[in-house]
Structure 1
Amino acid sequence: MWRAAAVAMLSIRVIQGFIYWGGGSRRFIYAPSKLNPDAPTWMANKFQTAMPGALFGSDHLISVMLQHFWLLYAGVILFSAAELIVGAMLMTGLLTRVAALLSMGFAVVLMAMFGWQGATCIDEWTMAACNLAMGATLLLGGSGAGSIDNVLMRRNPALASKSWFRWMAGSLPLPVKDTTFRNLALAVLAFVLVFNIGTYSYYRGSVFTPFHSGPVSPTKHHLALSAARLLPNGSVRFHVYLDAGTPEAPVHVVAADLLAGDRHPVAHWGASDLSALPKAAFANDYAYNKFAAGPFGVRAPMGAAATVTLPPPRATAGQPRDARFLRLTDVDGRSFSVALEGGLPR
């Protein structure tokens, strides 16, 4: 029965290994531009798109990495190499239980960072959820048929009696009693269920609550504005963070307005004014996804954050010194506002 199960699980082991091997091999062999900091496909851009919805404090970890190149580059290389090695171990059945445990760790990390993304469904969650369950199955069941673990044991039969080998490799059942194995399997099942269903409920509901778009929307762009201030020369400085939306398309800010206390506009910057902003008007927090002037106003990819300075408006509909709010409007007509700190000297 154990041999039959081992043969039955071959497809799980090989494909689970191929998934991770494919992730590493793309970066090292087939698409090395992903590891090139000067290329638009550099992995840092992908990390930055994940930052707004990352769980368990991993958003802060991503931010620190993005601000320290040596840490970022080392992390990308090490993670890619680990994926490549673990994938090869699973496909060949080398120390299968160790590789399966590591693959579960990868799934948890990827779920925490990217699980919220997916414009039509939570694609990244689906991938990580399946990988976690597959890794758990291989951890318990091992490699069995068609594996290097088997070859090692055939060449050195004494390994069959070594507990450490049976816990690390996968040719034989775990060296525990049936009751202990059942309890271990149930504990692993509980972890997989709680983590997968819990994150799904957090991201989309549909478990104990109605379906919802999640704390961070993967479809609608959202701009978080802060530290907005009128400067003595009439210009406006503020911080903006694109903290929701799809990484497949940038946000386009087509208008900016100063509003009085009654929300009446007192100054306006149109799309042409925003498109004419110089590079010096943008102090980006990160060196990768950035806010910048574009053909239709100000544009930014997912996860971008910057301090922006707008020049004094060319024409006003009132007294800028009466302004109390700053409002940005994107190309889809959504507006985002923030109260101004302080005011112009009278």
Structure 2
Amino acid sequence: MKHTLNSPSSDVAGLYTLSLRMVIGWTYFSAFWRRLILENKLIPDEKGYIGEKFNHFLPNALGIKPIIEYLVTHPDALQRSMVIFTIIEAIVGFLIILGLFTRLMSIGIFSLALGILLGSGWLGTTCVDEWQIGVLGVAGGFVLFLSGSSSYSIDQYFIRKNKSFTHSKWFQWLGSGSLPVSNAKSFVLVGSVIIFGLTLYTNQYFHGGVWGNLHNKSVQPKIEISNFAHSDSDIQFQVYRTEGADVYGSFLIGIHVLDKNGNILKELSPTELSKLSKENIKNHYVAKVKPGKHSLVIPLGAKADIKINIDDIIQKSEIHTLKLVDISGIEWVKNIR
């Protein structure tokens, strides 16, 4: 025999989740509000462009890295995606606040939160912020799907007006009212266990939060050096910043070319790096390596080929190692040969 959550129970559940519905709705609608109303953050190459923030997710994203990399290497597609994503957040957030097609919007909440979790769950300098936002959004979306809306919602207004479509199966699945599931306890248990498993897995994957050593990849910058090539006149190499805070760049204040004994054959000072020609920097993504006021700035997720002149090195055969020096004192060393 088929059982459903009865109407009185769904009314109470929808009422009890009112604050959750309104708060979680605002968290998504406010993204649209911040990006387009208070400021316009959808313009490429402008300060605060959301596409660059999206680029920050790339180095340690889980499962969706190819999608992110495709978008950050195709700026037009990235901008369109950011506009579409922002509009979806606005619609989902606004309608969930109003309680219109609550269950359909809760699926949107669940999906958006899952995207945040997989893309940026590894970010957060103090309280693993993005991971918490992601897992709580996933759980909150599931709860709102179960409860639907009750009092103080447009769904409930339609139900009380006895609109014909509110008696249809599709409205029960996508709107509010009794949820037409055959075994409510099993449905809730399975969904909850899956979400709890996702929570534990991502907590461990991103932060080592279940067992082993805790780690936070947002604390200090890390730069990977690769793809060396050099001629008699220059050295070219690739830098890729994979860790560190997303709100500011790594500030490179020194590039040293060393021999095998660690002696400096050539050194670029902070002043020289701040004046490095853009022709010597080939960026791959929308987050760009570029000269700053006193250093070479490398944002999180940025990847670029850098070329430096070595005409002033007499014994080029002695070139052995490259060292990059961050303003924090961190150094990255890579053998050229």
State the TM-score, normalizing by the size of structure 2: 0.91
Query: Which residue in 2 is equivalent to 1:54?
Result: 61
What's 1:78 paired with? 84
Q: Does 1:175 align with 2:180?
A: yes
1:340 equivalent in structure 2: 336
> Which stretch shows the higher mean deviation, 58-67 or 9-18?
58-67
Relative contact order, higher structure (CA 8 A, sep 6+): 2
Residue of 297, 302, 305 corresponding to 1:304: 302
2:242 corresponds to which residue? 243
In structure 1, distance between residues paired with 2:323 and 2:169: 65
- Distance apart, 1:238 and its partner CA: 0.7
Q: Deviations over 1:213-260 (max 9, x none)?
A: 3xxx11111111111222122x21111111111122211111222222
The reply on whether 1:25 has 2:33 as its aligned counterpart is yes
Match for 1:181: what amino acid?
A: A
Q: 2:215 aligns with which of 204, 212, 234?
A: 212
Against the structure 1 CA distance between its residues 273 and 39, is the aligned structure 2 distance closer, same or farther, given a 3 Å change threshold? closer
Match of 1:272 in 2: 271
1:191 counterpart (183, 186, 194): 194
Q: SS state of the match for residue 41, structure 2?
A: helix
Aligned pair count reads 329
Question: 1:44 touches 1:66 (CA, 8 Å); kept in 2?
Answer: yes
* Correspondence for 2:46: 39
Q: Give 1:199 shift.
A: 0.8
Q: Tell whether the 8 Å contact from 1:110 to 1:128 is kept in structure 2 after alignment.
A: yes
Q: Distance in 2 between matches of 1:79 and 1:115?
A: 18
**Secondary structure of 2:81's aligned partner:** helix
Cα distance between partner residues in 1 of 2:42 and 2:293: 29
Q: How far does residue 60 in structure 1 lie from its aligned partner after superposition?
A: 2.5
Residues 97-176 of structure 1: matches in 2 within 5 Å? 97-170=103-176, 172-176=177-181
Residue 300 of structure 2: SS of its match in structure 1? coil
Deviates more, 1:265-274 or 1:112-121: 265-274
CA offsets 1:261-296 (integer angstroms, 9 cap, x no match)? 34443332222332332221111112x322222333
Question: Counterpart amino acid of 1:321?
Answer: S
Unmatched runs of 5 consecutive residues or more in structure 2: 1-7
Aligned to 2:67, what secondary structure does the other structure show? helix
2:239 counterpart of 1:223: no
2:204 corresponds to 1:201? yes
TM-score of the superposition, structure 1-length normalised?
0.89
Contact kept? 2:258, 2:322, Cα under 8 Å: yes
Aligned with residue 289 of structure 1, among 287, 294, 310: 287
**Contact 1:20-1:83 at 8 Å conserved across structures:** yes
**Distance in structure 1 (CA, Å) of the matches to 2:284 and 2:259:** 29
Q: Which residue of 2 aligns with 1:344?
A: none
1:159 and 1:299 mapped to 2: Cα distance? Answer: 57
Is residue 320 of structure 2 the alignment partner of residue 324 of structure 1?
A: yes
Counterpart contact for 1:228–1:338, Cα < 8 Å: no
Distance 1:285 1:200, change over 3 A: same
Q: Distance in 1 between matches of 2:336 and 2:235?
A: 9
Contact 2:232 2:316 in 1 (8 A): no
Q: Contact (CA 8 Å) 2:158, 2:166: kept in 1 or not?
A: no
What CA distance in whole angstroms lies between the structure 2 residues aligned with 1:291 and 1:158? 59
In the alignment, structure 1 segments of 5+ residues that lack a partner are 342-346
Name the CA shift for 1:9/1:294 in 2 (closer, same or farther; >3 Å): closer
* Aligned-partner Cα distance in 1 for 2:203–2:220: 19
Q: Does the Cα contact within 8 Å between 1:267 and 1:320 map onto a contact in 2?
A: no
Aligned-pair CA distance for 1:88:
1.5
Deviation, 1:69, is 2.5
Please give the alpha-carbon distance, in whole angstroms, between the structure 2 residues aligned to 1:85 and 1:160.
Answer: 21
| 141-150 or 318-327, larger mean C-alpha shift | 318-327
Question: Could you tell me how far 1:140 is from its partner in structure 2?
Answer: 0.9
* 1:94–1:147 contact (8 Å) kept in structure 2: yes
Is the 1:267–1:313 Cα contact (8 Å) retained in structure 2?
Answer: no
Question: What value does the CA root-mean-square deviation take over the aligned residues?
Answer: 1.9
1:259 and 2:258 correspond: yes
